[in-house]
Homo-oligomer: A and B are copies of this chain.
Amino acid sequence: MTHKIAILGASGYTGAELIRLLAEHPSYEITALGAYSKAGQDMADVFPHLRHLALPKLVAFSEIDFDAINLCFCALPHKTSQEVIRELPKHLKIVDLSADFRLRDAEAYEQWYGNPHSAVEMQGEAVYGLTEFYRDDIAKARLVAGTGCNAAAGQFALRPLIEAGVIDLDEIILDLKCGVSGAGRALKENLLHAELSEGTNAYAVGGTHRHLGEFDQEFSAIAGRDVKVQFTPHLVPMNRGILTTAYVKGEAEVIHDTFSKAYASEPFLQVLPFGQTPSTHHVRGSNFCHIGVTGDRIAGRAIVVVALDNLTKGSSGQALQNANLMLGEQETSGLMGAPIFP
């Protein structure tokens, strides 16, 4: 059976990545591509790397016949997303890649995003899209909220440890190194090649990054108590990839065992042998996530390092993984492509 797919916001990087993944998928057909300012354009002009594909033109959302669509990916900016999704027909399955439905609590949403939510009633309905931990709910969901890319990386590094109670919940530090595509295709001075290449810097320092909202919600829910992590992202001169260095207090070998068990049957989560550390080089362009655990010279401390591609496992690959579940396809379908190296 062929599922008919629409992508709203197809002119951004996550939209393009969705198309790349869907193009090779045996049971999906891209039926409509929606955009704002680029409506009317050919995808070959917006993303010349997709020119070999027979894709529909970009159109305004109003021109899309949603009755003919089975599932819609929304790759829109925050706030726009909720306004658009609120108006979509209710038969439609939706995977939202924005931040709009990640936080279940309306107040938390407003605190982190600065505006009241305009589709509060749908917040309750939405299922959090971290596939490996919400698999059953996602399979039954109509609306799935894709996670933040940093939020995904941080949770792969910590969820099983919090669940198993093997680390000190008050002493968690996440130091992230992020590629630039996570910031999208926006025209900002700090994203210019001349400003960004050949150097690195921290940003959103001090606990101000919005993905903290997801960490707080998820980690506290697992622990059954408030958990607040310290989280500092850094911009690194690479296009794709997130490397999470998690500093935790606990026994390194116990931590490694915990991952080995928790992720034993996960097709995309690869736990490295104890003492090895992953690299974003080795997951680029793929849906795989590598996890390494090392003990520190200071007894009772461990370092967990997680590498994933923010555009794939961190957003569009995750979105497809969720869509596969929602449409009854095999979860890994279209996602087993090996990373590109070098």
Stretch from A123-131, A132-140, A254-262, A290-298 at the B interface: A290-298
Q: Is the CB of B52 within 8 A of A338?
A: yes
Q: Is the CB of A232 within 8 A of B245?
A: yes
Contacts of A199 in B (CB 8 A): 238, 241, 279-282, 284
Q: Is A36 close to B, CB under 8 A?
A: no
A339 to B50, CA, bound (A): 7
Stretch from A80-88, A91-99, A187-195 at the B interface: A187-195
Q: A177-B236, A187-B187 are in contact. Are A20 and B340 (CB under 8 A)?
A: yes
Q: Is A326 close to B, CB under 8 A?
A: no
Q: Is A201 close to B, CB under 8 A?
A: yes
Q: Is A41 close to B, CB under 8 A?
A: no
Contacts of A110 in B (CB 8 A): none
Q: A177-B234, A237-B236 are in contact. Are A49 and B198 (CB under 8 A)?
A: no
| Contacts of A232-251 to chain B: CB distance below 8 A | 232, 234, 236-241, 243, 245, 247
Q: Is the CB of A281 within 8 A of B201?
A: yes
CB distance from A200 to the nearest CB of B (A): 5
Q: Is the CB of B206 within 8 A of A297?
A: yes
Count contacts on A: residues with CB < 8 A to the other chain.
Answer: 86
Q: Is A278 close to B, CB under 8 A?
A: yes
Q: Is A230 close to B, CB under 8 A?
A: yes
Contacts of A323 in B (CB 8 A): none
A315 to B292, CA, bound (A): 32
Q: Is the CB of B230 within 8 A of A298?
A: yes
Q: Is A197 close to B, CB under 8 A?
A: yes
Q: Is A78 close to B, CB under 8 A?
A: no
Contacts of A281 in B (CB 8 A): 49, 195-196, 198-201
A47 to B281, CA, bound (A): 10
Q: Is the CB of A175 within 8 A of B206?
A: no
A189 to B298, CA, bound (A): 30
Q: Is A115 close to B, CB under 8 A?
A: no
Q: Is the CB of A192 within 8 A of B192?
A: yes
Q: Is the CB of B173 within 8 A of A206?
A: no
Contacts of A52 in B (CB 8 A): 267, 270, 288, 338
Residues of A bordering B, CB below 8 Å: 13, 16, 19-20, 23-24, 47-53, 173, 175, 177, 180-181, 185, 187-189, 191-203, 205-208, 212, 228, 230, 232, 234, 236-241, 243, 245, 247, 267, 270, 272, 275, 277-286, 288, 290, 292, 294-298, 301, 303, 305, 307, 336-342
